[in-house]
Amino acid sequence: MKLKTRLVVSFLIIMIVPCVLAFIAFSGMKKLSGGTERVSLKSEVKYLTNSLNLLNVYSDDNLIKVEKWLKDTDTDKINQSTVKKFDLTLRQNYSYLIVLKGNKLIYNGDVDGEDEVSQKKLPKFCNPDQRVELITYTKDEKPILWKKLNFKYGKDKSGTIYLVTSANSIKPETKRIAADFVISAFVVLLLTGVIMVLWNYRGIVPRVEMLCEAANEIRKGNLNNEIYTEGNDEITELYRAFEEMRKRLLATSKEKMRNEEEQRQLISNIVHDLKTPITAIKGYAEGVLDGVAATPEKRDSYLRTIVHKANDMNALINELSLYTKIDTNRIPYNFTMIPANQFFRETADEIEMDLANQKIRFNFKSEVEDGVKVIADRQQLERVIHNIISNSVKYMGQKTEEDPGRIDMTILDLGDSVQVEIRDNGIGISSNDLPHIFDRLFRADTSRNSSTGGSGIGLSIVKKIIDDHGGNIWATSTEGAGTAMYFMLRKKMEEKNVKNFDSRGRRGNRKPGERLSGIKRVRGKS
């Protein structure tokens, strides 16, 4: 139940229940009416608020008793003793009798003289022959209710019985009724309030306390304390929002821990990768200074090695700089329409010259027509190709003249995209490591040695760049046989189809990393 509904229900119950119980209490007082007939609430209030009516109610019951007594009693034997004995039963109901036989007063029940009633002060009825009449006698503004019964005794002699009910006599009863009513009203309100408080307490406070405990757990750093509740009220919505916040904090915390671990691993990799070329540069430089390189040829060899190691360090620093830009999504792109054949042939020529110095064969093949253009950033696309080639060289392994190292680069036209395949005959990648080669800072177990090194961010940079180009990249590999890398780039289409390119070369509503529709992956044999 929603909190607003709960409060409304509580208000209605507090207002309605006391009224219902008060009605029941008033209905229970209908005995005061002197009969068994149904008495309305209005009549009950009337009897309680009008002292004369209240006197009449009590005296009616006594009048019935008097009539029965006269019927069962020999009127000739009515005397002071018989009347007094009967009068004691009436006093229990706050009335007493005054009895006359003829004009002689034989009994006056006002023994205490509270009302100072004497024969001379008896009321004069309008119709002496009327069997029962009602009048009031007021003394000190206190009403006295008289009821008269005539009876016969002897030979046609008349007697009169006065039934007197005084306000003074029923005053204790009135106070008792008032006290009972006040106590009952207090008890009803108290019970209603207690029930409502318990109902609201059990429905709200325990759940709020549970929420406070969960908040304290988060404050202590425990993000694994799940909370759950059922319902559709405001507190349930608060629970769901809190649980969603907890899950996000937990995910953020795990991401932060993962990033910190990656940073530590990156620093460790960078230290390792920088230490090797620095050590080499230091050693060869000392060799030149100490005269170890005595001949010009040897000195030139040492200097070339120093330059080569310095270039390795520079490439590593550039890679690290680009990594920081990737981490903050700030890689600068300049997308243009690049002629595919011209670009890949020029890049292949540079690669072939570099690989020739490392005794690695390089073959380039293009099945793309000269007019085909791709949408790409020239500088970043060159980085992709060089990173993949560098990775292939790094894991080429020990080769011989009979089985030299070889890298093949093939360009295919797939209709609305161009696919680039770079295949080597290196040591390959295990099936367990293959799904993770594009993860940041991942290095296969076989690469954890000083000869291969690597920061583990080269292929993650490649994947990021290809994803930002709106293409795909994947790999196949067989241990001991080599690895093949594939990536695809969007071709330039007709003018009407190349509008609205975004800063990352994606067209239309294309999402980052969304695969090109209608493109088949062409996988080479490994």
Token pair listed for 516:
């090109």
In a domain, 98, yes or no: yes
Domains held by the chain: number: 3
Final residue before a domain boundary, out of 330, 356, 382: 330
In a domain, 494, yes or no: yes
Report d(CA 176, CA 285) in Å as an integer: 117
Contact 381, 343 (CB under 8 A): yes
The answer to whether residues 152 and 116 belong to one domain is yes
Contact 61, 34 (CB under 8 A): yes
Pairs from 15-19 (Cβ < 8 Å, separation ≥ 24): 17/188, 17/192, 18/185, 18/188, 18/189, 18/192
Per-residue pLDDT tens, the chain, 526 aa: give them.
Answer: 666 777 777 777 777 777 777 677 666 555 444 444 444 545 555 555 555 666 677 677 888 888 899 888 888 888 888 888 888 888 777 788 888 888 888 888 875 554 445 555 677 666 655 555 565 555 555 677 788 888 888 888 888 888 888 766 666 666 777 787 778 778 878 888 788 888 777 777 788 888 888 888 888 888 888 887 777 777 788 888 888 898 898 888 888 888 788 777 767 777 777 777 888 888 888 888 888 878 888 888 888 888 888 887 887 787 777 767 666 666 778 899 999 999 999 999 988 888 887 888 999 999 999 889 999 999 889 989 988 998 888 888 777 777 788 999 999 998 889 999 999 988 888 888 888 888 766 665 444 444 445 556 778 888 888 988 889 999 999 888 899 999 999 887 654 444 444 444 444 444 434 443 333 333 333 3
Residue 506 CB contacts under 8 Å (≥ 6 apart), including other chains: 470, 512, 514
The answer to whether residues 385 and 431 belong to one domain is yes
Report d(CA 390, CA 396) in Å as an integer: 10
The answer to whether residues 271 and 338 belong to one domain is no
Within 10 angstroms of residue 60's Cβ, the number of other Cβ atoms is 17
Report d(CA 65, CA 88) in Å as an integer: 12
What CATH number is associated with residue 396?
3.30.565.10
Please state whether beta strands 96-101 and 104-108 pair in parallel, antiparallel, or not at all (unpaired). Answer: antiparallel
Longest dimension (CA), the chain: 176
CA distance readout (Å), 521 to 168, 360, 461: 111, 28, 21
- Cite the DSSP H helix spans in 444-492: 458-468
Contact 115, 146 (CB under 8 A): no
Final residue before a domain boundary, out of 299, 330, 361: 330
Within 10 angstroms of residue 266's Cβ, the number of other Cβ atoms is 17
Contact 412, 522 (CB under 8 A): yes
Residue span of the structural domain in which 161 resides:
6-184
In a domain, 201, yes or no: no
In a domain, 177, yes or no: yes
CA distance readout (Å), 415 to 40, 50, 271, 392, 501: 95, 105, 45, 28, 19
What CATH number is associated with residue 234?
1.10.287.130
Q: Which letter does DSSP use for residue 365 in this model?
A: E
What CATH number is associated with residue 30?
3.30.450
DSSP collapsed to 3 states, 308-337? HHHHHHHHHHHHHHHHHHHHCCCCCCCCEE
CA nearest 164: which of 121, 111, 109?
Answer: 109
Q: Which amino acid is at 167?
A: A
In a domain, 215, yes or no: no
Burial zone of 11 (CB within 10 Å; 0-12 exposed, 13-18 middle, 19+ buried)? exposed
The answer to whether residues 322 and 353 belong to one domain is no
The answer to whether residues 133 and 259 belong to one domain is no
The answer to whether residues 320 and 340 belong to one domain is no
* Residue whose entry in the numeric block shows the structure tokens 């629970």: 239
Residue 124 CB contacts under 8 Å (≥ 6 apart), including other chains: none
In a domain, 447, yes or no: yes
The answer to whether residues 285 and 344 belong to one domain is no
H or E stretch including 113? none
Within 10 angstroms of residue 459's Cβ, the number of other Cβ atoms is 23
Report d(CA 364, CA 200) in Å as an integer: 79
The answer to whether residues 305 and 367 belong to one domain is no
In a domain, 367, yes or no: yes
The answer to whether residues 395 and 276 belong to one domain is no
Final residue before a domain boundary, out of 305, 330, 355: 330
Contact 407, 362 (CB under 8 A): yes
The answer to whether residues 178 and 232 belong to one domain is no
The answer to whether residues 169 and 240 belong to one domain is no
In a domain, 199, yes or no: no
Which pLDDT belongs to residue 394?
84
Please state whether beta strands 360-366 and 405-413 pair in parallel, antiparallel, or not at all (unpaired). Answer: parallel
Distance, first Cα to last Cα, the chain: 65
The answer to whether residues 170 and 281 belong to one domain is no
